[in-house]
Structure 1
Amino acid sequence: MFSSQAGGTGEEDKSATFTGWAAVPGGNGLLQKWSYHPRPLAAEEVEIEISHCGVCGSDIHFTTEGWGPITRPAIPGHEIVGLVVKRGEDATHQIGDRVGVGCLVACCRGPSVCDWCRKGDDQFCEKKTVTFNSPYKDGRGGISEGGFADRIRVYSDYAFKIPKEISSPDAASFFCAGITTYTPLKRYKAGPNTRLAVIGIGGLGHIALQWAAAMGCREIVAISGRDNKKEEAFKLGATKFINTSDKEQIKEAARSIDLCLCTNASRNNNWEEYLSMMAPLSQLVLLALPEEPITFVGSHLVSQDVAIVGSHLGSKGDIVEMLEFAAKHGVRPWIEKRPFEDCNEACNDVHAGKPRYRIVLEMKPSTSTSTSS
């Protein structure tokens, strides 16, 4: 049964306890069962009973302390799908709405809206709160906890209704892998005149190939260090495959790529080879976050007017547009479902690069009222 109670500061709300799987100091990447008391539900917030949460490479960077030491128990997870079970009086969603939450859960609020939020680029807001282990800056205190849990509370404008055409397990991966790859293709106007390449055919790359195909790109090149995903890359929409271990293939691809998405954070990336394949006036977009510095000489950039740029998530408007585009064009992640209790094994498999192509944690039906549609 869904609760229709509005958020507030009553005794029931004060005693609320959410349970998830947290990374802990000195835990060596092993997640442990952990409970916490959420902030009281604000007027603009919703409480979501989580049915699914994707496992992203960013979660692994965090839990293994690749991005720095863990100083407190913290629940990762930022590809979240579930049902609204409580709402504040000013929330935009209703009880029972099926929604998804991505990498952000709050931005600046009130009358002093920043220029970035005013322009619709809230992902650059200086007062944003990322989905886990991030202090809220709205004056109410607290630190965000993520989606490897039974419930979460977020501002309702960061909970996005999911089109009925997309199932809950499929929807999860769109809230990080999907929006991360969709946004740069939109920004750089990928389409019939674009020779696009995707480096790394994994959780992000396999969705990027599908976006490119749906956008009608002139050529879609899958780039990998091995041939083990070659056939699958063509099924996902690639029209050409380059194995970077074959130096002749790299030479043949010189100056042939207009837009390239790098989804691979491997320390073995050969940036000189990637740059040699870029056409004049092209962009190589970094989507992955390497733990080590990137080094290259500048000759390719200067002689061909090539730009190396980053792309950070997408705005709230981009997410809404992406979900509608995916529903219309049949773009779907290739996923493997695992029970939430197996989150450590799932994280280990993602760390080892085993998934084909995304692992989604699924709450048992007996502990969640959410269903796929």
Structure 2
Amino acid sequence: MSAPESYKFQGWLGKSPEAVNGKMEWGEYEPKKWTEDDVDIEISHCGICGSDLHTLKSGWGPTPYPCVVGHEIVGKAVRVGANVKHVKVGDRVGVGAQSRTCQKSTCPACSNDLESYCGELLVNTYGSDYPNGEGKSYGGYADYNRANGHWVFKIPDEIDSAAVAPMLCGGITMYSPLKRNGCGPGKTVGIIGVGGLGHFGILFAKALGADKVIGISRKADKREDALKLGADEYIATDDDKDWANNNRRTMDLIVSTVSHSKMPLNDYLGLLKVRGTLIQVGAPDGGELPPVNAFQLILNGIKLGGSMTGSPSEIREMLQLAAEKKIQPWIQERPLKDANQAIVDMEEGKARYRYVLVNENFGKH
């Protein structure tokens, strides 16, 4: 296929906040205007990310309905713009949470391998407006996706399509802060929240060579899973007596995936060694975190920071590491036609640990 008229852009449209309750509607939509910087992808797989649920219900601000969510996209390139040199028609490719940045040499983010923080032009894979009247971005709960080629990645042959899909947002959201904050030999790393993001944290912390990885979650019922994923220890904050004192100053780096405004943040900070770092990646509706005690930061000399996804070079690096280390996320495949039930199940916390939608038309490619 080489012409846009050869195929229709159809997907699961969220038309109001009620969509998150399993009320998306299948329909046709107009993709962004084609440019020679773009790639069209015939979607075979798309991971379900917590961001999809927040967006469907306008949890992070008003969503520009109608919206097709999904930014863990894998499929086949069926149309490639003349300006795109690293991808050809027929390649297996993927797209993550971003699909356009300014890419200017004068941009402090784009010129320093921090493109996911671009302050001049950041177009998310869904729910964003492209510049110059090119139209709106639509995501991967669909048959096709159109994205800027700079954010389209060739998938290593060693990784299965269903397994790689959730790496393109969930995986890189954990890989980037681990790598940038020194995860590796000699380090003890804590991962707060053993779920869709957190299980990637355990997998990548081990792959990066951390001496000890500690899973942290509320209940003891995830202890066995965390250890099977590769964690060396596990803390259940609801069930382990005096966990905060018993584990005080034991960790060099903590990545928190928890997205709750009442999480015990000061207790988590107390787990850090002197000069340790806690990076927050979980984003609650409204963005509100618990108050932080200044003395908790000052007296331990610790840092509290945040992280988004990652740059194109980090995504390629992550994919190569996943191929070399044979990283296998815990996924459950769901038919694209059952996307409404899948997001309801995701909202109810039933995923172990990521759902991946498989397009009935293209999922066997």
Moved more, 68-77 or 207-216: 68-77
Aligned mates of 2:317, 2:358 — CA distance in 1: 26
Report the Cα offset of residue 113 of structure 1: 5.2
Distance change >3 Å, CA 22–CA 183, structure 1 → 2: same
Superposition map of 1:177-326 within 5 A = 177-245=170-238, 246-292=240-286, 293-294=288-289, 295-326=291-322
Cα RMSD after superposing both structures: 1.7
2:345 maps to 349
Aligned mates of 1:368, 1:244 — CA distance in 2: 43
Aligned mates of 2:345, 2:253 — CA distance in 1: 30
Unaligned runs of 5+ residues in structure 2 are none
1:187-245 deviation digits (Å, cap 9, x = unpaired):
01211121100000000111110111122212111101101111111111111111112
- Say which SS state the counterpart of residue 95 (structure 1) adopts: coil
TM-score by length of 2: 0.94
Q: 1:329 aligns with which of 325, 328, 335?
A: 325
Aligned mates of 1:60, 1:86 — CA distance in 2: 30
Q: What number of residue pairs does the alignment pair up?
A: 358
Contact 1:338 1:361 in 2 (8 A): yes
Aligned mates of 2:177, 2:65 — CA distance in 1: 34
Q: Confirm or deny that 1:33 pairs with 2:26.
A: yes
Distance change >3 Å, CA 88–CA 352, structure 1 → 2: same
1:46 maps to 39
- Say which SS state the counterpart of residue 199 (structure 2) adopts: helix
Contact 2:14 2:24 in 1 (8 A): yes
Contact 1:207 1:331 in 2 (8 A): no
Distance change >3 Å, CA 299–CA 115, structure 1 → 2: closer
- Say which SS state the counterpart of residue 79 (structure 2) adopts: strand
Aligned mates of 2:45, 2:345 — CA distance in 1: 18
Report the Cα offset of residue 39 of structure 1: 3.0
The one-letter code matched in structure 1 to 2:284 is P
Report the Cα offset of residue 69 of structure 1: 3.3
Aligned mates of 1:45, 1:296 — CA distance in 2: 44
Report the Cα offset of residue 352 of structure 1: 1.2
Aligned mates of 2:217, 2:111 — CA distance in 1: 40
- Say which SS state the counterpart of residue 319 (structure 2) adopts: helix
Report the Cα offset of residue 115 of structure 1: 3.1
Q: Confirm or deny that 1:22 pairs with 2:16.
A: no
Aligned mates of 2:242, 2:30 — CA distance in 1: 58
Aligned mates of 1:52, 1:233 — CA distance in 2: 26
Report the Cα offset of residue 95 of structure 1: 0.9
Contact 1:207 1:332 in 2 (8 A): no
The one-letter code matched in structure 1 to 2:151 is Y
Distance change >3 Å, CA 369–CA 257, structure 1 → 2: closer
Aligned mates of 2:229, 2:362 — CA distance in 1: 32
Instruction: Give aligned-pair identity as a percent.
Output: 37
Contact 1:48 1:153 in 2 (8 A): yes
The one-letter code matched in structure 2 to 1:357 is Y
Unaligned runs of 5+ residues in structure 1 are none
The one-letter code matched in structure 1 to 2:11 is G
Q: Confirm or deny that 1:117 pairs with 2:113.
A: no
Report the Cα offset of residue 370 of structure 1: 5.4
Aligned mates of 2:33, 2:307 — CA distance in 1: 34
The one-letter code matched in structure 1 to 2:130 is Y
Superposition map of 1:131-170 within 5 A = 131-137=125-131, 139-170=132-163
- Say which SS state the counterpart of residue 196 (structure 2) adopts: coil
Contact 1:18 1:149 in 2 (8 A): yes
Report the Cα offset of residue 359 of structure 1: 0.1
